[in-house]
Amino acid sequence: MTGHKQMKDMSISIEEIKKPENRIYGKPSLLTDNVMHYCPGCSHGTVHKLVAEVIEEMGIQDKTVGICPVGCSVFAYNYIDIDWQEAAHGRAPALATATKRLCPDKYVFTYQGDGDLASIGTAEIIHACGRGENIVVIFINNGIYGMTGGQMAPTTLIGMKTSTTPYGRDPKLNGFPLVIADMIAHLDGTAYITRQSVHTAPAARKAKNAIRKAFEYSQKGIGLSFVEIVSTCNSGWKLTPVDANKWMVENMFKKYPIGDIKDILK
Amino acid sequence: MAEKILMKGNEAIAISAIRNGVDGYFGYPITPQSEVMETLMKEKPWETTGMVVLQAESETSSINMIYGGASCGKKVMTSSSSPGISLMCEGISYIAGAELPCVVVDVMRGGPGLGTIQPSQSDYNQIVKGGGHGDYHNIVLAPASAQDMYDFVDWGFDLAFKYRTPVVILADGIIGQMMEKVEMHPMKPRRTDAEILEAAPWATTGKPAGRERNIITSLSLDADIQERFNRKLKGKYEIIEENEVKFSEYMTEDAEYVFVAFGCSSRICEAVVDELRAEGIKAGLLRPITLYPFPFKEIERLSKQVKSMMSIELNLGQMVHDVRLAVNGACPVGFYGRQGGNIYTPEEIVSEFKKFNGLA
C-alpha cells in the first residue's frame, strides 16, 4: 500500500507503471495459463514456477525435455511450456537416461514425487545415480501419496497418520522412512544433492538457486543432480495451508533437514 | 556380390542394428539372447555410427529407456527372452498407448515362470494378443533364419515408424543360437537431427518458439477422449491388417494337407512336407511371417482346397486357435506341439500327421 501511495504522490501514470522495466514481479512466460489442478497450499505450484523461471532465465526452452511421474504432478506437462514425456509409475529416470544419452545436448530432468521415486521407482533412481546419468531430478517429498487419496509413502514419518496408517506409522507394522537423498549421496555417480523447501519466500529463492545449479551441473558431464523439495500436502495431511507449513517445519525438517548434502565441485 | 558372414541369429540382430542406423539399444542379460548385447558391446558402435548401447538394471528399466528414446524420435530397440519380456509388457503397453515406434526382440524360451532356457514358441499368446494391459496390438514378425533376424530389424523399424507402434521380432532359442550365413546389405546411416524432425515431428526434441509443446503420454482421464483414442488405434490396426500381412507358402498349390507353422517350426515342417511328398502324400506348408497381422484370408482360402490342416508349434497350442478362426469349420484342424524346450523331429511330426489323418 505504501508503494501505491508513493506512486500516487509522485504522479506516475498507470502506463508508466506497466512498463517492463518498472515491473518487479511477473508470471514466468513458460508457465501456461492452464488452471492448476493442485490443491491450494500445495508446494507443487511453487516448484513448477521455480522450474519454469530457471528454464526461462537460462534460455533453454528449446533444449529442455521434462519427464513427468505418476502422482499429483502427472499433469506437469499442462503447466510448463516445454516438451514432455509422461512416464510409467517410477520409471522417469529410465526415460531420462535414454533421452540424455541419445540427445546429450539437451537438458533433461525428471519431476517425481515420493511415491513415484522412493517406492515403486527405487531401482530406476538408484541405478541412474549409480551410472552417473547427467540429468536433473526434482524430488517432491511430502511424506504421503497425494493423488490416490493420502496413503502412506516410504517417506511418511513415524507416527504420521495416513489413510493406510490410520493409527500412525508404526515401524513394526510399516517399517521406517527412507531418506533417499542421504542414500544416494554415497553413490559415486551423483554430483550435487540438496534438500530445500518452498514454504517461505527466502526458502523458495534458495530452492530456485538449487534448481538452477542442478540444471547447470547437468551439462558439465559430472553426474546426476538431485534437488529434494520437502513439501506440504495439506489435503493429505488434513491441515490448513498455514498449519501444514508449520507442521512441516516442526516435523518433516527433523527427519529431512534442509541444506546441501553433496556438491562435488565444492 | 554382397558380403556373407557366418553368425548366430542373435549376432545378426546386433550387427543389423549397427548397419541399419539404429540410434540406441538398451537391454538386460537373459539366456538365450545375451549375445545381442555382448556383440554390440564388442563392436563398440558408439565409436563408429554413434549408436548408444546401454546395459540397464532390469528389463523394466530397459523397456522404459526405449520409451524415452522413442519419445525423442530415435530408432531404439531392446531384446530379451520370455521372462524378461513379461516384465517389459507394462512398458510395451505404454509405448503402444503413447503411439511410439520401437523394435523389441523376444528370443523365446520355455515357460511359464522361470521355465527353461531351451527354445520354445510359448509367448505367441502374450505377444500376438497384446501382453500388457489395454486394447492394443504389437506388429509381430516371426523370423525363421539368421538372415531373417538380420533383415527384420530394418523392416521392423520401417513398420514401427510408419504406424507409430511397437514391433516385436518373435524369435526363439533355435533361431537365436543357430549359426547361418548372413548376407550383409549396404550400411544405412543413422538419421540426422533434421531427418528426425521430418520423420517424427511429434518427438520431444526441445520446443522451439513457434510450435506447440510436444507431449508424449498415454494418459487421459476423460472416458470419451480415451474411447476416441481406442477407436483411432483400431482404425490403425485395420490398416495394418489390410496392408502388412506377410506369409510364405511351400508346395501348397496342389496340397491336400497343409501345415501351418512359424519360425523354427516352419523350417522343420519343410522337411516334413518333403518326406510326405516322397511318400506320395500331397502336403504343403503355410508359414505366417507376420503373426500380427495374421494371414487369416490365406488360411481360409487354403482350408477350402485341403482335406485337413495342422498347426505345428513349440507350445501347448496357441496359434492353432487363430488357424481355427481362419478355417471356420471348413476342414478339420489338428495340432501337434512339444513344450519345455523340447523340439520335434520331422519323423515325429510325420507320425502325428498320419495319426490325425487316419493314414497310419
What ranges do the domains of chain A cover? 28-263
Average pLDDT, chain B: 97
CATH class of the domain comprising B4-195: alpha beta
**Is pLDDT of A2 > 50?**
no
Q: Which residue of B has its CA nearest to A71?
A: B219
The whole-number pLDDT of residue A10 equals 61
Tell me the residues of chain B between 329 and 348 that have a Cβ less than 8 Å away from chain A.
none
Q: Does B288 have pLDDT greater than 60?
A: yes
Point out the residue among A67, A83, A124 whose CB comes nearest to the CB of B205.
Answer: A83
Asked if B55 is an interface residue toward chain A (Cβ–Cβ < 8 A), one would say no
Task: State residue A4's pLDDT score.
Answer: 53
Name the residue ranges covered by the structural domains of chain B: 4-195, 247-357
Q: What is the DSSP string of chain A?
A: -HHHHHHHHTT--HHHHTSGGG------TTB-SSPP-SPTT-SHHHHHHHHHHHHHHHT-GGGEEEEE-SSGGGGGGGTB-SEEEE--TT-HHHHHHHHHHHSTTSEEEEEEEHHIIIIITHHHHHHHHHHT-S-EEEEEE-SEETTTTSEE-TTPPTT--BTTBTT---HHHH-----HHHHHHTSTTEEEEEEEE-SSHHHHHHHHHHHHHHHHHHTTTS-EEEEEEE---HHHHT--HHHHHHHIIIIIHHHS--EEEEETT-
Model confidence over B111-138: pLDDT tens digits? Answer: 999 999 999 999 999 999 978 999 999 9
Quick one: pLDDT band at residue A15, thresholds 50, 70, 90?
A: confident
Residue B62 contacts residue B88 (beta carbons within 8 Å): yes
Asked whether residue A250 carries a pLDDT value surpassing 80, the answer given is: yes
Tally A–B CB contacts below 8 A: 122
Q: Which chain B residues are within 8 Å of A135, Cβ to Cβ?
A: none
* Nearest-neighbour CA in chain A from B210: distance (Å): 11
Mean pLDDT on A86-115: 98
Residue B256: what residue type? E
Query: What is the per-residue pLDDT across A181-214, written as a single tens digit (0 to 9) for each?
Result: 999 999 999 999 999 999 999 999 999 999 999 9
Q: What is the pLDDT of residue A242?
A: 96
CB of B56 less than 8 A from some CB of A: yes
CATH architecture of A28-263: 3-Layer(aba) Sandwich (3.40)
Q: Which of B273, B250, B272, B265 has the alpha carbon at shortest distance from B175? A: B265
CB-based contact A95 B61, cutoff 8 Å: no
Query: In angstroms, how far apart are the furthest CA atoms of chain A?
Result: 68
Check residue A17 and give its pLDDT: 82
Residue of A nearest to B58 (CA): A123
> Which residue of chain B has the CA closest to A32?
B213
**B214 secondary structure, DSSP code:** P
Instruction: Using pLDDT thresholds of 50, 70 and 90, give the confidence band for residue A8.
Output: low
Give the per-residue pLDDT at A113: 97
Kindly state whether B187 is in contact with chain A, defined as any CB-CB distance less than 8 angstroms. no
The per-residue pLDDT for B1 is 62
> Does the structure show a pLDDT above 90 at A16?
no
Distance CA B86, CA B80 (A): 10
Confidence of residue A6 (pLDDT cuts 50, 70, 90): low
Say if residue B47's pLDDT is above 90: yes
Name the one residue in this structure whose C-alpha cell is 548366430.
B8
Give the per-residue pLDDT at A252.
98
Our measurement of the distance from residue B108's CA atom to the centroid of its chain's CA atoms, rounded to an integer in Å, reads: 10
pLDDT, one tens digit per residue, over A19-64 is 888 888 888 999 999 999 999 999 999 999 999 999 999 999 999 9
CB contact under 8 A, B219 and A96: no
Kindly report the nearest CA distance between residue A172 and chain B, in angstroms.
30
How far does A100 lie from chain B, in Å, by closest CA?
A: 9
Of A68, A84, A87, the CB nearest to B213: A84
Q: Does B74 touch chain A (CB under 8 A)?
A: yes
Taking residues B270-297, report their average pLDDT.
Answer: 98
Contact A81 B217 (CB under 8 A): no
Compare CB distances from A106 to B67, B76, B206 and report the shortest one's residue.
B206
Does B4-195 match B247-357 in CATH topology? yes
pLDDT of residue B130: 79
Number of H helices, E strands in chain B: 13, 15
In angstroms, the separation between the Cα of residue B193 and the nearest Cα of chain A is 10
Q: Domain spanning B247-357 has what CATH number?
A: 3.40.50.920
Q: What is the pLDDT of residue B230?
A: 97
Alpha-carbon distance B72 to nearest alpha carbon in chain A (angstroms):
7
- For chain A, the average pLDDT equals 94
pLDDT at B64: 98
- Closest partner residue to A83 (CB to CB) among B67, B91, B214 is B214
Strands B179-183 and B4-8, how do they pair?
Answer: antiparallel
What is the Cα Rg of chain A in Å?
19
> What is the chain B residue with the closest CA to A63?
B206
Please report which confidence band the pLDDT of residue B144 belongs to, taking 50, 70 and 90 as the band edges: very high
Determine whether the interchain pair B68/A123 forms a contact, defined as Cβ–Cβ distance below 8 Å: no
Residue type, A237: W
CA distances from A192 to A30, A111, A172, A182, B10 (A): 25, 16, 34, 12, 40
Chain A residue numbers with beta carbons less than 8 Å from the beta carbon of B201 are none
CB pair distance less than 8 Å for A84 and B98: no
B61 to chain A, any CB pair closer than 8 A? The answer is yes
pLDDT of residue A12: 79
Residues in chain B closer than 8 A to A101 (CB atoms):
24, 52, 54
Q: Whole-angstrom Cα distance, residue B217 to residue A70?
A: 11
What would the pLDDT profile of A147-179 be if each residue is shown by its tens digit? Answer: 999 999 999 999 999 999 999 999 999 999 999
Query: Is residue B60 less than 8 Å (CB to CB) from chain A?
Result: yes
Q: Please report, rounded to a whole number, the percentage of residues in chain A having pLDDT higher than 90.
A: 90
* B94 interface with A at CB cutoff 8 Å: yes
- How confident is the model at residue B98, as a pLDDT? 98
The answer to whether the Cβ–Cβ distance between A62 and B218 falls below 8 Å is no
Chain A environment of B74 (Cβ under 8 Å): 102-103
The predicted structure's pLDDT at residue A97: 98
* B76 vs A: CB within 8 A: yes
Are the beta carbons of A99 and B71 separated by less than 8 Å? yes
Question: Can you say whether residue B7 is alpha, beta or left, with left for phi > 0 and alpha for psi between -120 and 50 degrees?
Answer: beta
Average pLDDT over residues A113-127: 97
Question: From the candidates A33, A56, A67, A95, which should be mutated to test the interface with B, based on the most B CB atoms within 10 A?
Answer: A95
- What residues of B are in contact with residue A55 (Cβ under 8 Å)? none
In this prediction, residues B173-201 reach a mean pLDDT of 96
